[in-house]
Structure 1
Amino acid sequence: MSEHLHLTPHSRRYLRAIQHSLDALNPWSETLVLPLPGSPRPTGDIIVFTGSFNPPTLAHLAMLKQAYSYTRSHAPMHLYAAMSKQTVDKENISRPLFLDRLALLDRLMKRFSGSGILLFNRGLYVEQARAIRQSFPRVHNIYFLMGFDKIVQILDPHYYTDRDAALQELFALAKLLVAPRGEDGPEALQALLQQEENTRFVRYIEPLPLSNVYREISATNIRNQDAGYTQAIPHEVWRFMWRTRAYAPPLHTTNGGTIDVYAKRVRELTRLLGTPPS
């Protein structure tokens, strides 16, 4: 590991631009969405895949590939990954930095021509849809991409005071693309949508098939670096984890001390960017 973090002038400008956008995302202000610097401004029909991407996995990448194929067969349509400063039902993430996760996700999204990344200050889909409608009036249809667990949560009445009213508000703004994993995934989704209380919303929810091979991939197992975790991540993610040790404990030195490699990275980024990174 090198003693200092070396960034080209272009990389510094790029990271500063991302950090500037992150600084503008106050979760307590009005709903806000910003394209990541360098991402195209949303127009027409768009698919939005919101997640914490901690870290991006091959399952995330497979869902993005399926969604990208969907956009190609429904052109003109564009694909966006998205992250929010306020994520529903997620732990408070202190490392890796939001900045690092965004830069890594941006690298992966370069695989999909014409795609981009959106940044939100709110975590609820209805708030994100509202922000898109307010900020990008040339957007027509919004499709939120998600896995089966998320659609179960969205349709669960325990999350609402008035579920049907909340869902009506969401579906007035957006539709859902659901990628059910596993051999029984499509049948489970169909059974969920055919429940009496859900049938009125079926026309707003469309399945997006995903291979069974991604069923067992867990971001938690990857963060814990459990056995075989390298088989579940793209090469770019493995390289990031290896170089930064963002998910690894401090290294032990020969004199009995420890070195936190990622903490050193954060200090170096603060020095190079001139501001504490998010």
Structure 2
Amino acid sequence: MEKYLKSTIEVEWIAQKLLQDFKTQGPLIHIVRGNTDSNHYDHILVIQGSFDPPLLSHTELINQSISLYQKQLPNAKVALMVLLSLSHVEKETDLFIHSLLGLRVEMLESLLSQTDLSVPWMIGISNSGRYIDLTVAIKRLLQKLSKNTYIMGIDVFDKLFQGVYYSKPLRDILPEIFQTDYIVAGRGDIVDIDDFLFYINSLPSESQNAIKETDNIIFLPLQKKFQFESSTKVRKQLSLDQSIEISSLNSQTLLFIHKNHLYSKNPSIIVIQIIVQIFVRILLKEGVDRNKCSDIIHNFISKNGNDKKIQTRILSEYRVKNNLFLEKRCYELLKEHSLIN
């Protein structure tokens, strides 16, 4: 983890700042990696997720979507945007059981660099997981864009029609949902177009009619071996056995995980993850800029990361899941080491 520590802290600062800015600026996207600095695209393919870790099914879905798009629009200037969302209504809130956001960025960059993609790509962070918010954020970021297409599994597509994710009635949201195009991949019991049509006919009439009135949804069947892959399952397997070989991971991704002890129950690794996330949160509230924040945390971990007393203080609160006191302990550590006033 040492190799990526500074960049990981900086990405965490960007992420926390985006969340902070949501209240005043609304949905935003910050591009943190990519192999292009241009923003002159006609179309953009967008895949969003936690990518914790990125799986072979993700790259398969990306490759098939690009191929499909290029056949339909051979002359269009197309790019790929991979988005790490910081806000999921249905996701777990205890981020410490996952890998640090910055390390996921590094994993994704490594994976995309090794994948023979035929379009430019970028990795971004968004401060909202709702697709109607992402559409707003993408338009703000890429103002000359004529169209964006979301790539997703059927499980995510289904969530578009669940009212719990919206502050307004679903009937008022449906027109916003279908401002963009969708490539929907089969998963679980929905493996072919007949299954997909059966699924659509099982939806409430309001959603059914909205789908049938549009022509911007493409169903994409995936090979059976990709349909049941799960990042949650992979994390659990790796937390039990760090040396395990996992068929749903690219070999380089698995090597990255092993080298950086991701998803490990090692107390030292857990403490570093907590320090990065909570120190960034505290320092951002104190008005500390990104570079200074990175220096402060990097130096603290270099000097004190293996201090058993500090580890015990942090882990005692972590184990009882008391995030309020966990933040208080981290604040005390910053004060004791004269890192904040």
Give the TM-score band, short-chain normalised: 0.7 to 0.9
CA-to-partner distance for each residue in 1:157-182, whole Å, 9 max, x for gaps?
Answer: 5555521211112223x121101135
- The 3-state SS of whatever aligns with 1:56 is coil
1:238 aligns with 2:233: no
User: What does residue 321 of structure 2 align with?
Assistant: none
User: What does residue 302 of structure 2 align with?
Assistant: none
User: What does residue 260 of structure 1 align with?
Assistant: 268
Query: Comparing 26-35 with 141-150, which one deviates more in the overlay?
Result: 26-35
User: What does residue 56 of structure 2 align with?
Assistant: 58
Q: What TM-score does the superposition give when structure 1 sets the normalisation length?
A: 0.80
User: What does residue 254 of structure 1 align with?
Assistant: none
Identity of aligned residues (%): 20
Conserved in 1, the CA contact under 8 Å of 2:88 and 2:129?
yes
Task: Indicate how the Cα distance of structure 1 residues 249 and 21 shifts in structure 2: closer, same or farther if over 3 A, else same.
Answer: closer
User: What does residue 295 of structure 2 align with?
Assistant: 274
1:102 aligns with 2:105: yes
User: What does residue 44 of structure 1 align with?
Assistant: 42
Q: Distance in 1 between matches of 2:210 and 2:2?
A: 54
1:31 aligns with 2:27: yes
Q: Distance in 1 between matches of 2:152 and 2:137?
A: 19
Conserved in 1, the CA contact under 8 Å of 2:78 and 2:120?
no
Aligned residues: 261
1:212 to 220, 224, 230: 224
Query: Comparing 39-48 with 121-130, which one deviates more in the overlay?
Result: 39-48
Conserved in 1, the CA contact under 8 Å of 2:12 and 2:276?
no
Conserved in 2, the CA contact under 8 Å of 1:109 and 1:116?
no
User: What does residue 312 of structure 2 align with?
Assistant: none
User: What does residue 142 of structure 1 align with?
Assistant: 148
Conserved in 1, the CA contact under 8 Å of 2:45 and 2:148?
yes
User: What does residue 253 of structure 1 align with?
Assistant: none
1:130 aligns with 2:140: no
CA-to-partner distance for each residue in 1:33-76, whole Å, 9 max, x for gaps?
Answer: 12224454542111100001111111112111212223432332
Conserved in 1, the CA contact under 8 Å of 2:46 and 2:151?
yes
Larger radius of gyration: 2
User: What does residue 21 of structure 1 align with?
Assistant: 14
Q: Distance in 1 between matches of 2:276 and 2:12?
A: 15
Q: CA deviation at 1:24?
A: 3.4
1:68 to 66, 69, 76: 66
- The 3-state SS of whatever aligns with 1:49 is strand
Task: Indicate how the Cα distance of structure 1 residues 265 and 194 shifts in structure 2: closer, same or farther if over 3 A, else same.
Answer: closer
Q: CA deviation at 1:229?
A: 6.1
Q: Distance in 2 between matches of 1:152 and 1:265?
A: 33
Q: Distance in 2 between matches of 1:188 and 1:69?
A: 23
Q: CA deviation at 1:273?
A: 3.7
Conserved in 2, the CA contact under 8 Å of 1:182 and 1:211?
no
The code of the aligned residue for 1:249 comes to K
Q: Distance in 2 between matches of 1:268 and 1:163?
A: 38
- The 3-state SS of whatever aligns with 1:146 is strand
Q: Please give the root-mean-square deviation of Cα atoms over the aligned residues, in Å.
A: 3.1
The code of the aligned residue for 1:139 comes to L
1:117 to 116, 123, 128: 123
The code of the aligned residue for 1:238 comes to L
Q: Distance in 1 between matches of 2:268 and 2:8?
A: 22
Conserved in 1, the CA contact under 8 Å of 2:46 and 2:148?
yes
Q: What TM-score does the superposition give when structure 2 sets the normalisation length?
A: 0.67
Q: Distance in 1 between matches of 2:158 and 2:107?
A: 29
Structure 2 unpaired stretches of 5+: 280-291, 299-341
Whose helix fraction is larger, Structure 1's or Structure 2's?
2
Task: Indicate how the Cα distance of structure 1 residues 64 and 229 shifts in structure 2: closer, same or farther if over 3 A, else same.
Answer: farther
Query: Comparing 241-250 with 176-185, which one deviates more in the overlay?
Result: 176-185
Q: Distance in 1 between matches of 2:189 and 2:128?
A: 33
Q: Distance in 2 between matches of 1:155 and 1:267?
A: 38
Conserved in 1, the CA contact under 8 Å of 2:153 and 2:184?
yes
Q: CA deviation at 1:261?
A: 3.7
Q: Distance in 1 between matches of 2:256 and 2:271?
A: 14
Structure 1 unpaired stretches of 5+: 251-258
Task: Indicate how the Cα distance of structure 1 residues 275 and 125 shifts in structure 2: closer, same or farther if over 3 A, else same.
Answer: farther
Task: Indicate how the Cα distance of structure 1 residues 200 and 248 shifts in structure 2: closer, same or farther if over 3 A, else same.
Answer: same
Task: Indicate how the Cα distance of structure 1 residues 268 and 159 shifts in structure 2: closer, same or farther if over 3 A, else same.
Answer: closer
- The 3-state SS of whatever aligns with 2:160 is helix
CA-to-partner distance for each residue in 1:98-143, whole Å, 9 max, x for gaps?
Answer: 1111111122122224111122111110001011112221111111
